[in-house]
Copies of this chain bind each other. A is one copy, B any other.
Amino acid sequence: MSHAIEFYFDFSSPYSYLASEWIEDLASRHGRAVDYRPVLLGAAFKATQQQVLVKVPLKGDYSRRDFARSARFQGLPFVVPEPFPIGTLAAARTFLWLKDARRPEALPFLHAAFRTYFVRGRDISQDPVLHDLWRECGLDPDAVKEAISQPALKEKLKALGDESLARGVFGAPFIFVDGEPFWGNDRLPQIERWLASGPF
């Protein structure tokens, strides 16, 4: 099997949600696995002096429209949640913990977290919402809280963020295929060609 597709994402990124809905199917059609890597875009935006997209004059309004239209284009349900964006530290830590422990709940949690925020519009930075989300995925909230408060896990997420910046990840989704970087949900056609017929 060829190298896994590396998929950097933030749970607060609408285009990451949209891409998370096609990446597995695409990968598996080409005999690839997906290596999901949670990052916190706040750090990347700081390092690259970027503003939060929806706060940029004109571009912000367009973006909200484009999020929703891009979702309809893919046939996916979508709401612009309020508040938006949010901090996704707890969700990112939860996913990283599940992934590192090779727990079967990892991937279901990833999709449930995205959908809770971008389909049901519930703020996954809030404790009651997180508790519901964890329980939905068959996880015990006390056990998760204990697991994601471990210093080693916290450090691991931070190290992943530093590594992502060192690799040039300034936004999300940010997808590496055989080391080639593709930024954005709209690079699907290029990724597809790369997987089908190699570098171009």
Q: Which residues of A contact B (CB under 8 A)?
A: 44, 47-51, 56-59, 61-62, 65-66, 69-70, 72-73, 165, 168-171, 181, 183-184, 186-187, 189-190, 193, 200
The 9 A-B residue pairs with the shortest CB-CB distance, nearest first, are A58-B170, A186-B186, A48-B57, A59-B170, A58-B168, A48-B58, A72-B200, A73-B190, A48-B56
Complex contact A51–B51 (CB within 8 A): no
Taking the full assembly, how many copies of this chain does it contain?
2
CB distance from A93 to the nearest CB of B (A): 24
Look across to chain B and name the residue whose beta carbon is closest to the beta carbon of A181: B62
Residues of the B chain whose Cβ atoms lie less than 8 Å from the Cβ of A189 = 73, 189
Say yes or no: A73-B165 contact (C-beta < 8 A), given A56-B49, A57-B49, A186-B186. no
Name the residue in A73, A171, A184 with the highest tally of chain B Cβ atoms < 10 Å from its Cβ: A73
- A64 to B61 Cα, complex, angstroms: 26
CB distance from A192 to the nearest CB of B (A): 10
Residues of the B chain whose Cβ atoms lie less than 8 Å from the Cβ of A193 = 73
Complex contact A61–B200 (CB within 8 A): no
- A44 to B57 Cα, complex, angstroms: 10
Complex contact B186–A66 (CB within 8 A): no
CB distance from A175 to the nearest CB of B (A): 12
Residues of the B chain whose Cβ atoms lie less than 8 Å from the Cβ of A181 = 62, 65
